[in-house]
Chains A and B, each alone.
Chain A
Amino acid sequence: MQDPAARSRVLLTKSFIDSHDRAIATIALALRDAAMEVVLIDYEQPEDVVSVALQEDVDVIGVSFMSGGQVETTEKIVAELARQGVPDLPIVVGGIIRPFDVPPLEAVGVREIFRGGAPMADVVATFERLSREYRGLSQGAEA
């Protein structure tokens, strides 16, 4: 029996003005099928992402970008994580990530970047790994 304590909780989010929700819905279902609990939210302010992550006690934050704000929004979220006392909470980003977005995203500590065409198995494995790391569980071990 899998210990319920080992269940991963992740937050998937995009801006409320961004109506491209196909990617985020597809990933949410894949993570659900991998036994994770996925909280969805369309943020109004980048800082809201952190408020929600704290209330929901998630292990990973995934941010989808289909229009603009890739770097600016991510920087704001990372700054708010530090301000709220959870600088270790991992962030991954995905969607339309242009080549010149990559260095600044990596510089602020984004743990993984998924651009179009990333295999779903890799996406799921990354969320699982980051979640376990954040909860201090060893890889693949039962809690």
Chain B
Amino acid sequence: MSAARKGFDAATLLTGVRRSDTLAISRAITAIENETSAGCELALAVADSRGGCRTIGVTGPPGAGKSSLINALMAELLPRFGRIGVLTVDPSSPVSGGAVLGDRVRMAAYSGNPNVFIRSLASRGHLGGVTRTTRSVIDLLAAGGMDLVIVETVGTGQSEVEVAGLTDLKLVVCAPGLGDEMQAIKAGVLEIADLLVVNKADLPDAERTMMHLKAMLGYRGHDERRAALKVSSMRGEGLTELAEAIAARLAQSVVTSTPERRMHPRLRLAEDVAALAAALVREGANPELDALAEAAATGALPRHDAVMAALRALAEREITVAPLR
């Protein structure tokens, strides 16, 4: 198991994470992403450690300039928030399962900055614009001392709204010429936005796109949290105004919609149980589970019986090491 390599067990990793050690944070993220039992234990240990860490979701269609905008905003955000974590999600190939993770090419200027931790995540078949474990990775970055975590979603389609449940503030980035008013009033990604950002304001259609978005906001009735802003990452225009709008909203308690409050507690418990149970069934040498799996595969044992027997085997066994504190 990757998390266990070279003595990096879950407890050692957790200690390192709390000391803000880059390698420990990074290897803990790998364990969480791989959904190993060590990764599940780490995720549970940091699940309630968001503390004062604030979160921003950045979404929008491919090529809208999400990565470039985050890069351009960094100079404005770093003085306001001490340490910033960035998670950029790119799609995994549905054919091979591999991925090319290229978002951080646009953020190269911050590669060596000790106050910026950037991690590229592959979607690994999960839809919704983020990965299955993004919530836990955010928790881990918070436990590792980040004051702000920015999540950049996969740039696909109109309905990648899962990031809304994971982050305090939602930015939807549009490029000029997204379509007409009809596009702007459809359901989906635009309706989760706190801040609608028209990027590439140096292009001619920007003003018209702003008009459509503002009209949409008008139809929905006044909400002081929502606004449309125009920026140009390339020319550096509108960035200070955007950073101020972000900081103001994050400072208001009204935006503190933590995922715990959004998610039904039983659903959350079910997810945590499912993840840990799956990891424990999947990994390690276990003749009993091998026999059950084989019996179910050949039809010797009804699948229902095999599942129940596996669950009983897990419950009876002392689950992994001592729980992480």
Contact = CB atoms under 8 A, between A and B. Distances in A.
Given A45-B112, A136-B5, A34 B98 contact: yes
A44 B118 CA distance: 16
A55 B86 CA distance: 11
Interface residues of A, number: 38
B26 interface: yes
Nearest to B101: A39
A52 to B, nearest CB: 5
B100 A48 contact: no
A37 B123 CA distance: 10
Contact of A5 (B36, B99, B118): B36
Contacts of A51: 22, 111-112
A44 B105 CA distance: 11
B105 A41 contact: yes
A60 to B, nearest CB: 14
Contacts of A45: 111-112
Contacts of A38: 98-101
A54 B109 contact: no
B301 to A, nearest CB: 19
A3 interface: yes
A56 B120 contact: yes
Contact of A41 (B93, B99, B111): B111
B34 A5 contact: yes
A43 B277 CA distance: 41
A122 interface: no
Interface string B85-129: 000000011011111111011001101100001111010100000
Given A42-B105, A55-B119, A48 B112 contact: yes
B119 A4 contact: no
A37 B1 contact: no
Given A5-B283, A54-B22, A56-B26, A48 B98 contact: no
A33 B108 contact: no
Contacts of A48: 108, 111-112
A86 B23 contact: yes
Nearest to A32: B98
Given A42-B108, A51-B112, A57-B27, A32 B1 contact: no
Nearest to B3: A5
A85 B93 contact: no
A134 B136 CA distance: 25
Which of B104, B111, B118, B282 is the most central at the interface, judged by chain A CB atoms within 10 Å of its CB? B111
Rank and list the top 9 A-B pairs by shortest CB-CB distance, nearest first. Answer: A32-B98, A48-B111, A57-B26, A5-B34, A136-B5, A48-B112, A57-B30, A35-B97, A35-B98
A82 interface: no
12 contacts: A3-B34, A5-B2, A5-B34, A7-B34, A16-B108, A31-B98, A32-B93, A41-B111, A44-B111, A54-B22, A55-B118, A136-B5
Contacts of A91: none
Nearest to B86: A55
A77 to B, nearest CB: 13
